[in-house]
């Protein structure tokens, strides 16, 4: 299954509040400037299912487990581009 990234869509302003985009024939409407989160962790590819996962996705684009296991003990290295294999 191909995942479409709504944030990379071509958004067109509808009015001063909303914008729209079409992806794969589906119309999406959002408030101007809103950014959607991915539904999977960028590191381990697990689905984002808890509010803690959402919070970590907003911070570092990873799930809570990756945040606790990989990011927190290695924050300095992580911020310089390091990622565990």
Q: In this predicted model, what pLDDT tens digit does every residue of 44-67 receive, in sequence order?
A: 999 999 999 999 999 999 999 999
Which segments within 1-85 are labelled E, that is strand?
Answer: 12-13, 18-23, 26-31
Same-domain check for residues 15 and 48: no
Q: What is the pTM of this model?
A: 0.68
28 plus 55 within the same structural domain:
no
Q: Is residue 14 part of a domain?
A: yes
Both 21 and 49 in one domain: the answer is no
**Total number of domains constituting the chain:** 2
Whether the pLDDT of residue 4 is over 70: the answer is no
pLDDT at 2: 45
Looking at per-residue confidence, does 76 or 35 come out higher? Answer: 76
- pLDDT of 3 > 80? The answer is no
Same domain, 28 and 44: no
Q: What sign does the CA torsion over 45, 50, 52, 54 have?
A: positive
Could you give the CA distance from residue 66 to residue 56 in angstroms, rounded to a whole number? Answer: 9
Do 74 and 60 reside in the same domain of the chain?
yes
Whether 26 and 54 map to the same domain: the answer is no
Structure tokens at 1: 């299954």
Positive or negative torsion for Cα 36, 38, 41, 47? positive
């Amino acid at each position: 299954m191909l995942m479409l990234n709504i944030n990379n869509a071509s958004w067109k302003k509808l009015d001063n509040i909303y914008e729209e985009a079409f992806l794969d024939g589906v119309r999406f409407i959002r408030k101007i400037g809103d950014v959607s989160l991915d539904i999977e962790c960028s590191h381990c590819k697990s689905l984002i299912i808890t509010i803690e996962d959402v919070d970590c996705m907003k911070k570092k684009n990873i799930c809570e487990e990756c945040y606790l296991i990989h990011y927190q003990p290695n924050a300095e290295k992580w911020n310089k581009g390091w990622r565990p294999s």
